[in-house]
Chains A and B, each alone.
Chain A
Amino acid sequence: MEQDAILSIVLKVVEQANLARVNSQRLEVSPTAPLFGPASPLDSLGLVALLIDIEEAFDQAGHPVTLSDERALSQTRSPFRDIPALVSYLAALTRES
């Protein structure tokens, strides 16, 4: 998949997730936004919920992926730490499949 298409799906899911969050806990919706770590309001369980929503969105788009990684909760090395890292990770996954 093209990175732009991946980014578009990811940002839509983030926007959707924000609907269920109070103002102070909303996620930044931008191509460079942090997802996990001190700059993000997401805790580890919140990250899991968001990533499963993203899996669901990719499944519906005809590109099933599973977002599991041993570095998932590393604040420095997590492929899910911010939107750019996540989009790159998804681009690699969708290339493999």
Chain B
Amino acid sequence: MPRRVLITGTSSGLGQQLAEHYLAGGDVVIGCARRAATIDHPMYAHHLVDVKDEHAIATMLAAIRADHDGLDVLINNAGVAAMNAFALTPPAAMHHIVGTNLLGPMVLTHGAIRLLRKSAAGRIVNVTTVAVPLRLAGETVYAASKAALESFTRGLAKEVGVFGITCNAVGPSLTPTRLTNGLPPAVRARLLSQQAIAREGSAADVANVIDFFLRPESNLVTGQIVYLGGIS
């Protein structure tokens, strides 16, 4: 039976590539984004959802319950970043970043636990960033929101273990996506120089870690944060 995989932020970048990866593997993928679907596949369903919108999330989860009778995997991928000096970051931007990167995944996960609970191998995977351990100047709010998401990951793992659900996070290193394309070359070079393996990552590198978390045999792997590129 194919897994039922919910991925946020599937209209572009890593989310779209992850959706295509799991569709290619035969899974049913439910995606959501603020923008229209960019994937056309018989096993793909798209919902127009801003993860900051509680009502839209509830409507999507009700549709998933009706159409798929549950979920096996939730990948909280949708995220926003804004390269800026903290002192020059408007409060509205702070609310937008924390709302999308932290509160959105929390609200979605709150509802999704009810759908994941009956899965034989329920899995929650949060997408974090190496900006957390690197403590990048200019990414303060973004990194803070993701650091909180990591704390959420570790704590939640202890609460959902009773349902046989694992909760882990993957932190991509520098990967060419819409989020990172705006970084100046000097910043990209500095980021790469801090990695143990100094190459840019790809969606396949991220999917490889997520695939490990999703394996039924990984049922004792929970509360873990895995960064790519040798950053720790």
Docked-complex contact B113 and A52, CB < 8 angstroms = yes
| Other-chain residue from A45, A55, A56, A64 in contact with B159 (beta carbon distance below 8 A) | A45
State which residues 22-59 of A face B: CB under 8 Å.
45-46, 48-49, 52, 55-56, 59
Q: Is B117 an interface residue (CB 8 A)?
A: yes
Docked-complex contact A48 and B159, CB < 8 angstroms = yes
Q: Is A68 an interface residue (CB 8 A)?
A: yes
Contact with A along B101-137 (1 / 0, CB 8 A): 0000000001101100100000000000000000000
Apart from A52-B113, A64-B62, 14 more pairs, CB < 8 Å: A45-B159, A45-B162, A46-B162, A48-B159, A48-B162, A49-B162, A49-B163, A52-B114, A52-B117, A55-B114, A56-B114, A59-B65, A66-B111, A68-B110
* Interface majority SS (helix, strand, loop, mixed), chain A: helix
- Residues of A participating in the B interface, judged by any CB pair closer than 8 Å: 45-46, 48-49, 52, 55-56, 59, 64, 66, 68
Minimal beta-carbon separation of B170 from chain A (angstroms): 26
Identity of the chain A residue whose Cβ is nearest the Cβ of B158 in the assembled complex: A45
CA gap between A45 and B155 in the complex, in Å: 13
- Chain A contacts for B163, CB-based, 8 A: 49
CA gap between A55 and B58 in the complex, in Å: 14
- Chain A contacts for B117, CB-based, 8 A: 52
CA gap between A64 and B63 in the complex, in Å: 13
Identity of the chain B residue whose Cβ is nearest the Cβ of A56 in the assembled complex: B114
The 4 A-B pairs of least Cβ separation, nearest first, read A45-B162, A52-B114, A49-B162, A52-B117
Minimal beta-carbon separation of B208 from chain A (angstroms): 32
Contact with A along B50-64 (1 / 0, CB 8 A): 000000000000100
Contact with A along B145-169 (1 / 0, CB 8 A): 0000000000000010011000000
CA gap between A55 and B113 in the complex, in Å: 12
Minimal beta-carbon separation of B59 from chain A (angstroms): 12
CA gap between A66 and B162 in the complex, in Å: 19
- Chain B contacts for A64, CB-based, 8 A: 62
- Chain B contacts for A56, CB-based, 8 A: 114
Minimal beta-carbon separation of B103 from chain A (angstroms): 14
- Chain A contacts for B162, CB-based, 8 A: 45-46, 48-49
